[in-house]
Structure 1
Amino acid sequence: MNGPNRKKIKKIRERIIQQEVREKREAFMLEKAREITVEEGLHALTLPRLAEETGYSKPTVYKYFPTKADLIVALAVQSSAVRASYYQKAVNFKGRPREKLYGINALNFGVLHPYFREMLDFHINRLSHQADPVRLKALQENENRVVEIIAGVVREALEIGDLRPPAGVDEYQIIFTLSSTTFGGYVMRESDSPVMKKWFDRIRFRHGVFGEIVLDGMGWKPLSTEWDYKETRKRFFKEVFPELLDEPRSLKKAG
């Protein structure tokens, strides 16, 4: 091999190594950022705090994430990719469409809880206009994938007759109705308002209850009064996510 070719190969290897180092650093920073938001809330996440937690210098952190908004978007990109991966696996569950949605909801408030919360943080704070275009494109692709996975479940319910919506109502209207219910319930549940806490205690809140009311109202079979969805949850995790059976915390949150 002649000299120029060796130099070319060396440069390629160096670029690959640099890219791997960059990806590992970014993943580590996002992991630490997620720990901060889960334990203390979004307000506690700052770039100087992230530098302190990771041990990297402030200039290094700012090189990866110029603003807090960019950091939140990066978290959302990662979160949406993780959620899409879990959802894709969840729809392989050998159950009826509504059972699949029940399993997905259990994931949202179990193992996916931190990721679900990050997506809410992104949307509530309206950060799209501050996002890096490359990150924003990745986020949009992941979110579209999530929507289409759920749309497939709704279409399955329509095809087999488990769901018969009024004329003119399509799968996307149903999806966004369910999403609004889920997101709204989560935001209210996370509120530190004493009044909100009082009412949640009064209605004996549990994750999924609002969606259950909406789905029953749509007449989506099997109705909660006709089916043992606790048994569905057991079958769902045993069949599709057996590795989560050893994580009581996740299963408890999913209830």
Structure 2
Amino acid sequence: MVAILPATGSPSPMHPTPLPAFEDNYIWTLRGDDGRAIVVDPGEAGPVLAAADAGLRPQAILLTHHHADHIGGVEELLRRWPGLPVLAPDDDRIPVASRRVGDDERVELGGWAFDVLAVPGHTVSHIAFHGHGLLFCGDTLFSLGCGRMFEGTPAQMLASLDRLAALPGDTLVCCGHEYTLSNAAFARAVEPDNPALARRIEEAQAMRQSGRPTLPSTLAGECDTNPFLRVDAPAVRAAVASQAGHAPGDRVATFAALRRWKDGFRA
């Protein structure tokens, strides 16, 4: 267990809020009614500074992986709040970290507590944070999709997704990008007759039309609709076999073929 801040009582009730950044990133904040907050993957500082002007009081920063659109704002935030704890995976490509955390560690930050999960695939050192019914999963799992494998293997990525899918179904999925509708087109191509998917797409369209984020989603909902969590579903396996021209040999091969299909997919 890694204790970063002294326990001062939970800042409950807590509110997960995505702050839009760049074109489609989300910086997540988990704040209590008193304004104390955890900040997750601040790729740029501006949205966090604006939230601070409205009462946000950052207590710590959590980083899921080394990509610039997830860590690029940390240095400026540390100039505003020197000494703010920055928890990150053990990766030299994240020089702003003040504490390295790894698989199966439990971190306590004031009234917050998170379990650290190693989820390699998008990058080899990617981690996720799970606690308070929330999953901060960076670019490993998206609503209706998953991250590209820039560094990991299909076996690693599938194992990471399996691990996340095994968390409680009411877990709220707080991922790093607003990709739901773009992912929806591919998911519908894979499973056009999935009624849960049709409902999710209709819901997401209404959310975006009204200017709302489609996140967080629920893990149970993702398991019902996200093709990358459904590689064992007969309809998904059949669609992959049809697309590839042959039936993949096992579930890792099914996942790999599904990811290749997505990489070249154009709606």
The question of a shared fold, defined as TM-score above 0.5 by the shorter chain, is answered with no
The structure showing larger relative contact order (alpha-carbon pairs under 8 Å, at least 6 residues apart) is: 1
**Structure number having the greater helix percentage:** 1
Flag the structure with larger Rg: 1
**Would you tell me which structure has more strand in proportion to its own residues?**
2
TM-score by length of 1: 0.32
